[in-house]
Amino acid sequence: MKKLNVVKVGGNIIEKEEDLQAFLDAFAALPEPKILVHGGGKLATQLAERLDIPVQMTNGRRITDAETVEVITMVYGGKVNKSIVAGLQARDCNAIGFSGADGNTILSVKRPVKDIDYGFVGDVIAVDSTMIANLLSIGITPAFCAITHDGKGQLLNTNADTIACELAIGLSEKYEVTLNYCFEKAGVLLDVNDDNSVVKDINSEKYTQLLNDKIIADGMLPKLENCFYALKGGVHQVQLGKPEMLKNTITNFTTLRL
Amino acid sequence: MKKLNVVKVGGNIIEKEEDLQAFLDAFAALPEPKILVHGGGKLATQLAERLDIPVQMTNGRRITDAETVEVITMVYGGKVNKSIVAGLQARDCNAIGFSGADGNTILSVKRPVKDIDYGFVGDVIAVDSTMIANLLSIGITPAFCAITHDGKGQLLNTNADTIACELAIGLSEKYEVTLNYCFEKAGVLLDVNDDNSVVKDINSEKYTQLLNDKIIADGMLPKLENCFYALKGGVHQVQLGKPEMLKNTITNFTTLRL
């Protein structure tokens, strides 16, 4: 089975020009086929503030009204996505930028209102892995921003970790997929302030043990839930760590398998 | 030879939601293969003003500094392009949004400084018609915004009429191309205030006569120059008029052939 890398790049890397360029170097050096996924939450917040559009967060999630989905579309789909695409082209990586609306690649439903109305936020219901595989087969590297659509003309703000996870699962029918989460930390850490305390390998048993010992810090919990959801959905392995892990020049990162 | 429609939609249509939706109806109803091209200058000016970024125009052309190219990328590549793509998907037209950086489809050079430094403005030097034909052949409808790149990581503001023209010429090797300029007027008019004064057919001879009689108004001159440049470059025919001309429900528009 052909190998495929799905790589999510974290917000703290995107917003620092130097870190973004170093990440793009590492990503472009990966053999094809590959897919990039990014968000850009902090940059969207900065633009919203400049435009006097109130930023409303609940449990770390953005409440996305009509004005906010427009800001997100400008920042994720425009500014960040196109500069990443141009940066990859400069590295001879033939990228095309995507939202889930482009090529109808990721279809979502607007999140139903329960206790909280998140507004124009999408929950993924379908990935068109055939379309994406067709593009990969002609040498294209898709670069996805964290936007999907409902198929009826509405763009929807969608968590970038979730998009990476759903793409990785959807493409596991056709490829042996490694899902990579690149961020500013070295991986899952026993001590959140010590990059040398990386837990290098986590399987289901180790995961349960880490949960029981309350080793996994708050922010890492949903990320690891995503990782095991991906593994159970057919993804071969998940890697968490700094962008250098893509180049195999470091061994200090976390690998997750079932 | 297979037929292809390249359709440029004008700024006055894009900025009115109702007109945009009516245009998308007409465009989506065209048989495949087809390509859409759009700008969004007035919407970019509105955002620049909200962000207190000075708008500098010379001879109707935007001086594009670093901040302005970012605004243009957010508006053309984000807000306008993604809403057009989502609108086409809602009409079962499988669109993917493109800048010239995406798929390295349109390569430009930054315009050399002579009397005026236009800043980050691109003059098109190459269209990858093979890549675009590959995408068309798998049922994709590319929707291009008025942005290209220099292949070295820099995005460049590029006139949308020119992009439509260069795409039409580039694809004329492989298709019988009709290039359509949709705008708020009915076509080339003998009386600029009377939509019933359309000149229905213009060939080289008629064009020279109209020029000599000074019938063609200022704003129409560069557009018609573009049209004849396209025809001389191998484009089968050019049509100018309201979006309804795409549906063949009106006959009141201008057709140009050599």
According to DSSP, residue A122 is labeled: E
Q: Residues of A marked as binding for substrate?
A: 40-41, 62, 157
Task: Measure CA of the first residue to CA of the last residue in chain B; give whole Å.
Answer: 19
The interaxial angle of helices B160-171 and B129-137, nearest 10 deg, is 80
Strand locations in A32-168 (E): 34-38, 57-58, 61-62, 95-98, 106-110, 122-127, 141-145, 147-149, 155-157
Query: Does the pLDDT of residue A131 top 80, yes or no?
Result: yes
Across A59-63, average pLDDT: 82
Nearest CA in chain A to B89: A151
Tell me the pLDDT band of A60, cut-offs 50, 70 and 90: confident
DSSP A5-37: EEEEE-HHHHTSHHHHHHHHHHHHTSPSSEEEE
Determine contact, residues A74/B79, Cβ cutoff 8 Å. Answer: yes
* Angstrom distances, CA of residue B217 to CA of A60, A206, B142, B188: 56, 75, 32, 9
Measured between CA atoms, how close is A128 to chain B, in angstroms? 12
Q: What is the pLDDT of residue B53?
A: 95
Query: Which superfamily, per CATH, for A3-184?
Result: Acetylglutamate kinase-like (3.40.1160.10)
Q: Which residues of A touch B103 (CB under 8 A)?
A: 94-96, 140
Return d(Cα A71, Cα A52) in angstroms, integer: 11
Mean pLDDT of chain A: 95
Q: Which residues of B touch A47 (CB under 8 A)?
A: 74
- For residue B94, say whether it is annotated as part of any ligand binding site: no
3 state DSSP class of B178: strand
Going from N- to C-terminal start, the domains of chain A cover: 3-184
Top CATH class of B3-256 equals alpha beta
- What's the average pLDDT block by block, 10 residues per block, for chain B (258 residues)? 97 94 97 96 94 88 93 98 98 98 98 93 97 96 98 97 97 98 93 90 94 82 92 98 92 95
3 state DSSP class of B241: strand
3 state DSSP class of B208: helix
pLDDT (tens digit per residue) in A135-158: 999 999 999 999 999 999 999 999
Looking at the DSSP assignment, which residues form a beta bridge with residue B144?
B37, B98
The secondary structure element, H or E, covering residue A132 is helix A129-137
Return d(Cα B77, Cα B88) in angstroms, integer: 16
